[in-house]
Amino acid sequence: MKLLFATHNPHKAQEIRDIFLSSGSALEITSLVELGDMEEIVESGDTLVENALIKAREGYARHGLDCFADDTGLEVEALNGRPGVYSARYAGLECRAEDNIQKLLGELQGIQNRSARFRTVVALILDGKEHLFEGVVNGQIIDHKTGAEGFGYDPIFQPNGYPITFGEMSESEKNKISHRGMAIQKLIAFLKNQED
């Protein structure tokens, strides 16, 4: 079975493949880029669920393949859930991950409550039917970048129960406990059930 992952992000595509492989799944995962599809999908939703569905529906419509997509947000308690759905473009549309990190750290300067959570919603379109899966990991925003692994906010997010940030974890360590890893594991379990 071939599944389309509706993303243009090579980091995400590799992370997802690694999770599928480590779970023993034999599914073939392809991405929009690998299909030669470079046209961006506009994430116009106001929620993670809406954006994940927009991307999955568009990938399915363009290529006629069973398709899944995700949307992830970092939700900071002291900022009323911001940056949330705007996490990837928090510092502006053409910003870099570093710009997002600096904006977030600036907003949290002097604030004691640094509780946050990463939340991923995965939308799957399988045989024309829509399914949703969610993964959440709680943690803290530390006051400086630590670690060079991962991407996005990983160097400033320390998951509860761990003395290190996502940015200090190996990809396989992070995938075992991450929000995206949890959501994808639920997706994999669902797909295995469909095969039985």
Q: Which residues are catalytic?
A: 71
Residue with tokens 């809406």: 50
The Cα diameter of the chain in Å comes to 53
- 137, containing H or E segment: strand 129-141
What is the Cα–Cα distance from 153 to 137, expressed in whole angstroms? 13
What is the amino acid identity at position 31?
S
Extended strands (E) in 32-109: 67-76, 83-84
Element (DSSP H or E) covering residue 118: strand 115-126
In angstroms, the CA 79 to CA 70 distance is 23
In three-state secondary structure terms, 14 is helix
Show Cβ contacts of residue 150 under 8 Å, excluding neighbours closer than 6 positions. 166, 167, 169, 171, 174
